Amino acid sequence: MVSPRSLAPILAPLLSILAAACSSGGSGPAPEPTPKVDPSTFGVSDVGPFTCGHRVLETTYAQPAGQPMRTIPVHVWYPSTSTDGEHARYKGIFVDTVAWEDGALAPSAFAGGYPVLLHSHGYQGFAGNSARLMCHFASHGWLAVAPEHVGNTLIDTPDPLPLAMYYQRPLDMRAALDFIDHLPEGDALAGKADLAQIGVSGHSFGTYTAWAEGGAAFDLPTFEAKCDAGDLAACDAAGLAVFETDLSEKRAKAIMPLAGGPSAYFGKSGYDAVKVPVLLMSGTLDKVKAEEIFDGVKGVDLSWVEVEGGCHQLYGLGNTFKGADECTVLPDEEGFGIVNPILLAFARYHVLGERGDEVTGLALGTKGLSPKAHFQHTK
């Protein structure tokens, strides 16, 4: 698993201005008529036919192991027709100049409704950490859904983490999907998500979540040893037993772990249990040991794209964000221009079943997008 990279010390002077991160969301923006478009005709490197709208909702769900009810914000980016208004702001700090807060909802261009990208943020992160990726998918007609992992965000992460966080993360993802599937009547998005078309992504510690969603098997002795060593807090038998249950997301058709390395919590062979296609992405300047996953996994349809000059925030706030000087060799916009199209192509190929030349070439590594993107595949 990736060593936690804390943003909190960097942002400590700003924490006093944090705004509340979530709202009830009401019924959301009403859809506006828009010309019928076919997102499959748009190149994955281009901004799609829609703008990007954003909402923050909230859901509460029952936890296992005697834990209390858990309430989490759920961020949603969606296809919009808006071109002005208020921009989205994450954690009261990060202004998203691409997303329009409560922008007008565009009708789905897909017969079955909006396909879904489900995303998990990193250690001490926040739901909007990978907002550029979320908006790229939204502009192409997808819903991008990211739960905030309460208890492991920018402002509320204890050290050590409680054992429960390791099952709360995958359960937050499931709860977010169930919530989107059962929005109240009258909500503009109610009944409009196509939960037969789901891809999962995760950044940094979120790669642990993504692998768990894809069906990776947990190594219970590792959890027990970490509890005994004091590396995990609030351990008990009921909590440990949760990892013997199925925490995967059966509705997911593919997973995309970003900037993450091997996790001891899956042991030596836990990754081999994943049955859906996987796109592992990393950067050459981010030493997360992604190569150990690629070299060690057996029997998984696994692709690995390593981006030359990529740092840890290549898949988040931007490649140069608080990175070393060497990160500037790959400017933010160039980095987004490599990462987001490859991820969209992979999702369109494996989730939507598209087989156009561009999508197929990028998903299978037979078409080059940039000489800085190095593709490998194993099965």
**Count of alpha carbons within 13 angstroms of residue 30, beta-carbon side:** 2
Residue indicated by tokens 């054992």: 163
C-alpha–C-alpha distance, residues 362 and 349, integer Å: 9
- Is residue 21 within 8 A of residue 90, CB to CB? The reply is yes
Coil, strand or helix at 62: coil
Domain range enclosing 361? 19-24+42-378
- Burial label for 246, CB within 10 Å (0-12, 13-18, 19+), is exposed
- Is residue 327 within 8 A of residue 285, CB to CB? The reply is yes
- Is residue 163 within 8 A of residue 235, CB to CB? The reply is yes
Residue 88: the pLDDT is: 98
- Is residue 189 within 8 A of residue 28, CB to CB? The reply is yes
- Identity (one letter) of the amino acid at 357? D
Q: Encode pLDDT of 220-244 as tens digits.
A: 999 999 999 999 999 999 999 999 9
DSSP state of 233: B
Residues 6+ away with beta carbon under 8 Å from 131: 54, 77, 88, 90, 94, 96, 98, 99
Residue 18: the pLDDT is: 33
Q: ω into residue 160 within 30 of 0, thus cis?
A: yes
C-alpha–C-alpha distance, residues 233 and 140, integer Å: 42
- For residue 214, being part of any structural domain is answered with yes
Q: Which residues of the chain have pLDDT under 70?
A: 1-27, 30-35
Residue indicated by tokens 């977010």: 176
Query: Rounded to two decimals, what is the model's pTM?
Result: 0.92
- For residue 2, being part of any structural domain is answered with no
C-alpha–C-alpha distance, residues 157 and 360, integer Å: 40
Residue 15: the pLDDT is: 32
Which strand (E) or helix (H) includes residue 61? strand 51-61
- For residue 35, being part of any structural domain is answered with no
Domain count, the chain: 1
Q: Encode pLDDT of 335-367 as tens digits.
A: 999 999 999 999 999 999 999 999 999 999 999
Coil, strand or helix at 191: coil
- Identity (one letter) of the amino acid at 317? L
- For residue 358, being part of any structural domain is answered with yes
- For residue 354, being part of any structural domain is answered with yes
User: Dihedral (C-alpha) 234, 240, 206, 91: value to the nearest 10 degrees?
Assistant: -30
β-sheet bridge partners, residue 280 = 304
- For residue 115, being part of any structural domain is answered with yes
Range list of H helices, 32-116: none
User: For position 272, which CATH number holds?
Assistant: 3.40.50.1820
- For residue 29, being part of any structural domain is answered with no
Residues 6+ away with beta carbon under 8 Å from 16: none
Q: Encode pLDDT of 280-315 as tens digits.
A: 999 999 999 999 999 999 999 999 999 999 999 999
Residue indicated by tokens 């009401």: 26
Instruction: Write out the two tokens for 321.
Output: 């964000």
- For residue 37, being part of any structural domain is answered with no
Residue 39: the pLDDT is: 85
C-alpha–C-alpha distance, residues 16 and 317, integer Å: 21
